[in-house]
Amino acid sequence: MRVEHRIPSLLLALVFSTSCSSKAGNPVTLRKASTVAKCEQASKSWERDRCYRAEAKATGNRGLCLQLNEPWLQASCVADFADAQHDISACEQASAIYPVPDCFKGLAQAMHDPQLCLRIANVEDSDACIQGFAIGSTYDARACALARTAKARDLCRSQAATHDAASCAQVENPARRQTCLSRATDPRARASACAVIDDAGARDVCYINQANASNLSLCERTTVRKNDCWVHAAVTGGPAICEQIGAGADSVARSRCLTRSLERPLSCVGITDPIVQQECLLRTAKDPHVCETINDAELADICWATMSDMNADLCLRIKQPEYRRDCAHQAWPRAKDVRLCAELPGAQLQSVCSARVGLNKR
């Protein structure tokens, strides 16, 4: 048996009739009674719902929303008042009836206040609301710090890096930070992000990837692979940079640098250090097939994530599940393989993704 969640119409009519008898000349009271009488004449519940919703909007009386037949309809009706009036109390009332995360999300964007996202009870919905500030017209990378989980904070800052590459420096997970760095465009911002990498070798590789004749100061920041940085810079900047290596002209390290710089290899094939070679492959990769030649699993995953900018479905090639999900979260609007949708959190987002895949295939 269907249980209606509306205020019983007879009770409501009684309240209004009593009110009318004591305030017979009150036009507002009379209109309320008239509205109830008109809407209750509808024979079907959906017709009554449509009537009450229209009257609530027309009269500005959100109390009429409570006459709708289902809690989610009542909440949706009340939430409309938040959009129209920037009324926080309307979202609070709607959320008490039924979860409506889009109410606070829309209000947060409209009022330019990411703090309102924290009023959304569901953690994923709250974090998604905050991430909107990293990419939307109300861009504010500082909002990312409000996200409740480290993963959401990292994704938010990675998205913010499209506006401000310095956001990469605040990404907490090292692998996600490296992916963020590989996509950043501002060399100065990328250099500042390198400084927060804990592992000395990985930090040096980050500096090496950016070092060139016009940015030699980055080599001074390296600690365990300084010579590799000078060699890397000399390959494109010329043999004079090799003077930074060794104690004199007879230095073996300097001789190696001179040889490399004079050869000026046009690809990563001439690099003998396997780690530097694979970092080179990652940095210069423009063809997804290059990712298949990278033996280091983590670097290969970063390569596939980078290539996903050209083909979202390449996220599926990432081995580590967490990184694969991160990649899918950023790339799904461009996906053509429905399998990528399974990597997304929540049935609703997966459904939206599947629909988008259908459109992308056209």
| Domain edges within the chain | 1-81, 99-198
**With bands split at pLDDT 50, 70 and 90, how would you rate the model's confidence at 185?**
low
Give the whole-number percent of the chain exceeding pLDDT 70: 78
CA distance 347 to 135: 23
Contacts of 1 (CB under 8 A, 6+ apart): none
**With bands split at pLDDT 50, 70 and 90, how would you rate the model's confidence at 186?**
low
Residue 2 has pLDDT above 50, yes or no: no
CA distance 155 to 152: 5
Residue 49 has pLDDT above 50, yes or no: yes
pLDDT reported for residue 20: 39
Mean pLDDT of 190-214: 76
- C-beta separation of 184 from 190 below 8 A: yes
pLDDT reported for residue 168: 80
pLDDT reported for residue 6: 52
Task: Quickly tell me which residue has 């640098």 as its tokens.
Answer: 257
Mean pLDDT of 81-88: 82
- C-beta separation of 359 from 334 below 8 A: no
- Stretch (H or E) spanning 73: helix 71-85
Tokens of 195: 């400084």
Mean pLDDT of 18-24: 39
**With bands split at pLDDT 50, 70 and 90, how would you rate the model's confidence at 18?**
very low
CA distance 65 to 71: 10
Residue 46 has pLDDT above 50, yes or no: yes
Tokens of 23: 């305030």
Residue 149 has pLDDT above 50, yes or no: yes
What's the pLDDT tens digit per position in 87-126? 888 998 998 999 888 888 888 888 888 899 998 888 988 9
CB atoms within 10 A of CB 128: 22
CA distance 288 to 307: 6
Residue 341 has pLDDT above 90, yes or no: yes
Least reliable range by pLDDT among 26-35, 112-121, 145-154, 278-287: 26-35
Q: CA angle, corner 179, sides to 178 and 183, nearest 5? A: 115
pLDDT averaged over the chain? 78
pLDDT reported for residue 279: 63
CA distance 170 to 157: 7
- C-beta separation of 251 from 245 below 8 A: yes
**With bands split at pLDDT 50, 70 and 90, how would you rate the model's confidence at 276?**
low
What's the pLDDT tens digit per position in 290-299? 788 777 788 8
